[in-house]
């Protein structure tokens, strides 16, 4: 499984908005500058996040984006599923995938199912608030891994 720039940048956008600790709307231009992400790419990401209800956007003077919930109420899994579509390590486990002819005899399917469960458990038990922690040793989020 590989998370695309869209998923990684969506997490950065959500963290940036959350760290502003404001009930005001955060301008996309400001996020773009802080995160060094093109404004055009951010527009497509924030559109996805807004349509899914994770952020709220307002256009015009004083406009921008803000969270719709507290940072601890967002799981990393929900953010990534919105931007990535699936966290499945193999296509046969994706939602709506046609049944594989080899499913009953597949020697690797149990392994893929276990990995998929592990991925979902990991991302569903970590929140946006966890990513906001700036401690040198973040346990699971240790940069040395």
Query: pLDDT for 3-58, tens place per residue?
Result: 999 999 999 999 999 998 777 899 999 999 999 999 999 999 999 999 999 999 99
Q: Which long-range contacts (CB under 8 A, 24 or more apart) does 38-44 make?
A: 41/5, 41/9, 42/9, 42/13, 44/6
Segment 58-90, tens digit of pLDDT: 988 888 999 999 999 999 999 999 999 889 898
Q: How far apart are CA 78 and CA 59, in angstroms?
A: 25
């Amino acid at each position: 499984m590989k998370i695309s720039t869209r998923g990684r940048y969506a997490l950065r956008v959500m963290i940036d908005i959350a760290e502003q600790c404001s009930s005001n709307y955060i301008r996309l231009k400001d996020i773009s500058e802080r995160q060094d992400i093109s404004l055009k790419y951010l527009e497509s990401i924030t559109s996805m996040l807004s349509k899914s209800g994770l952020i709220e956007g307002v256009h015009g003077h004083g406009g921008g984006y803000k969270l719709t919930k507290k940072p601890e109420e967002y799981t990393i899994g929900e953010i990534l599923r919105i931007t990535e579509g699936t966290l499945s390590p193999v296509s046969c486990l994706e939602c709506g995938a046609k049944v594989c002819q080899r499913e009953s005899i597949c020697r690797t399917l149990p392994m893929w199912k276990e990995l998929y469960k592990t991925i979902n458990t990991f991302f569903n038990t970590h929140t946006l608030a966890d990513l906001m922690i700036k401690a040198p040793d973040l346990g699971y989020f240790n940069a040395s891994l």
